[in-house]
Amino acid sequence: MAELKEARVPDIGDDKDVPVIEVLVKPGDTVSKDQGLVTLESDKATMEVPAPFDGVVREVKVKVGDELSEGSVVALIEPAAEAADKPSAKAEAKPAQKTEEKPESRAEAAPEAKPEPKSEPEPKSGPVQPSTPAMNAGNPHSPPVTFDAEALMPGKVPHASPAVRLFARELGVDLGQVSGSARGGRISKEDVQAYVKSVMAGGGAARTGGGGGGLDLIPWPKVDFAKFGEVERKPLSRIQKLSGANLARNWAMIPHVTQFEDADITEMEAFRKRLGEENKDTKVTPLVFLIKAAVAGLKKFPAFNASLDGDELVLKQYFNIGIAVDTPDGLVVPVIRDADRKGLLDLARELGEISAKARDKKLSSADMQGGCFSISSLGGIGGTAFTPIINAPEVAILGVSRSAMKPVWNGKEFAPRLMLPLSLSYDHRVIDGAAAARFTSYLSQVLGDLRRLLL
Ligand code: CAO
């Protein structure tokens, strides 16, 4: 057996006695140069101690919880034959020392993760590369990627192992919101699970991506309802849980404004009735006219048929309309595809089909994807106006309330007209108030005179 060489903790700046939170290798493992051997976690960052050369791990000298400093021996490695011959490998196999060695190019490969020069603490751009398992997942031999949590979240770095960070990221949990119950305030997987449970139970604010400081809300009130009278507990349905989480995110993250408008649908209603009499097997409701009008609006005002993607606006050239459907288990939004290519009767039939499918719980997830703009119609039920929540990543949603006969001044007298209340909620990051007013007044014009659809 070739001579064993020590793999030691290299220069980790001022950090001392940094706990090992994960041991990534075991005796017998073949490792490549730069592959992580153990993960350390300081107050500011998690970082992997890399193998200094290719070889086979013969002995692991540390365990989780051990506290290491620069020079601590992590493992004994038998260098691969060819690697052992290389002078550079020999040099790197020596205990790490504070030398004039400059940060390596891989640190430069991720400049965005480097702290500003003035910021404290020192960037971890030396031989030890802070990283997360997700970054290295799928390619255990790739060099670790620089990740300095302090640089990303100055002053507020949650303590959590890369595995817990990965777990949290998969669930969309912001670790900044989770309190750690393990030693030194470290966040465990159980803490993340408990946080998710409390959010699902209404006990916290789910925050997603984008940073921005958070909502910092006080906890959800905990009340012993039974103290005040008889109660019954009923679990939320799966749809209610899913749509609830989506609605909460959309409501919290999108700056909503709602624009109201009344459309005169007196003529449209007469036409709809005629159409219904001529096509007794198809139920033609005002909603199909609204789908047609919405498509015309999206064509005239493309910003309404868009989605935000980072700093870009994705403008869609297709016209898929989501329809909010009320079911006994909760709200679902199936999508009518290519609504621009369908006539009123086709739309009426499809609307009937998707509503039935929704209520029979037969919608597939594909049936609910690809929407551009949604319509939520409460017209069959009642109400005069409401403020619908945008169905992200769409940027607007049209709410429709019940039409009512109203006296409308025609310049000479009040005339009875059937008025349909429209409530358009829009994402103010994408759409300005003036554009929204133009959009709703265009919808009102189209619904007031369907010949405009031909223009
Ligand atoms: N004004 C007056 N009457 C209206 C109307 C309106 N705006 N919209 C529909 N109606 C009438 C219909 O013509 C129909 O009358 P008839 O039975 O006499 O023909 C009746 O109301 C019932 O219509 P409907 O609701 O069955 O059909 P629809 O095409 O209007 O709507 C659907 C279909 C699936 C959208 C609807 O059933 C539904 O689920 N709506 C609820 C959506 C919802 O919950 N939104 C809230 C989301 S935010 O929480």
- Give the CATH number of the domain where residue 152 resides: 4.10.320.10
Q: Letter for the amino acid at 169?
A: R
Question: Residue 25: CB partners within 8 Å, gap ≥ 6?
Answer: 31, 35, 37, 38, 57, 60, 75
pLDDT at position 140: 35
- The widest CA-to-CA distance across the chain, in whole angstroms, is 106
Confirm or reject: Cβ of 325 under 6 Å from ligand 1: yes
Lowest-confidence region among 199-203, 290-294, 388-392: 199-203
Q: Residue 294 Cα, ligand 1 centroid: separation in angstroms?
A: 16
403 lines ligand 1 (CB under 6 A): yes
Cα three-residue angle 451-296-253, rounded to 5 degrees: 150
Nearest atom (ligand 1) to Cα of 323: 35
428 is catalytic: yes
Q: Give the residue, 29 or 148, on which the prediction is more confident.
A: 29
Winning range, highest mean pLDDT, from 116-125, 209-218, 349-358: 349-358
Q: Give the Å distance between the CA of 409 and the centre of ligand 1.
A: 28
Question: From atom 36 of ligand 1, which residue's Cα is the shortest distance away?
Answer: 325
Please report the pLDDT score of residue 388 as a whole number: 98
73-79 and 5-8: which strand pairing? antiparallel
Same domain, 103 and 144: no
Q: 439 and 335, same structural domain?
A: yes
Same domain membership, residue 264 and residue 300: yes
Tell me which residue range forms the domain holding 321.
256-454
Residue 403 alpha carbon, nearest atom of ligand 1:
1
Q: Which range is least confidently modeled, 240-244, 294-298, 392-396?
A: 240-244
Asked if residue 388 has its Cβ within 6 Å of ligand 1, the reply is yes
165 shares its domain with 89:
no
Q: What's the rounded mean pLDDT across residues 208-214?
A: 48
Q: Flag whether 89 is in a domain.
A: yes
Mean pLDDT of the chain: 82
| Residue 224 located in a structural domain | no
Q: Which ligand 1 atom sits nearest the alpha carbon of residue 358?
A: 34
On the question of pLDDT at 139 being above 60, the answer is no
Q: Going by CA atoms, what residue is nearest to atom 10 of ligand 1?
A: 380
Residue 245 domain flag: no
Dihedral of alpha carbons 417, 282, 325, 296, sign: negative
Which has more confidence, 160 or 120?
Answer: 160
Query: Cα separation of 246 and 89, whole Å?
Result: 52
Report the distance separating Cα 382 and Cα 452, nearest Å: 28
Candidate list 141, 159, 256, 428, residue with the active-site label: 428
Of the listed ranges 4-13, 86-95, 231-240, the least confidently predicted one is: 86-95
Ligand 1 within 6 A of 331 CB? yes
Q: What's the average model confidence in pLDDT over 223-249?
A: 94
Record the tokens describing residue 358, joined without a space.
């929704």
Claim to verify: residue 200 and residue 292 sit in the same structural domain: no
Task: Please report, for the domain that includes residue 269, its CATH number.
Answer: 3.30.559.10
Q: Give yes or no: residues 435 and 310 share one domain.
A: yes
pLDDT of residue 87: 43
The pLDDT tens digits for 43-75 are 667 788 999 999 999 999 999 889 999 999 999
Evaluate: CB of 145 within 6 angstroms of ligand 1: no
Question: Which three-class secondary structure state does DSSP give residue 257?
Answer: strand
312 shares its domain with 175: no
> 377: Cβ below 6 Å to ligand 1?
yes
The pLDDT tens digits for 154-210 are 344 567 776 787 788 778 787 877 877 776 677 888 888 888 877 776 554 444 444
The number of residues in the chain equals 455
Q: Are residues 103 and 155 in the same domain?
A: no
pTM for this predicted structure = 0.61
Q: Tally the domains of the chain.
A: 3
- Indicate whether 251 belongs to any domain: no
Q: Which atom of ligand 1 is nearest to 325's Cα?
A: 39
Quick check: is 228 in a domain?
Answer: no
C-alpha distances in Å from residue 421, one per residue of 84, 264, 410: 79, 9, 19
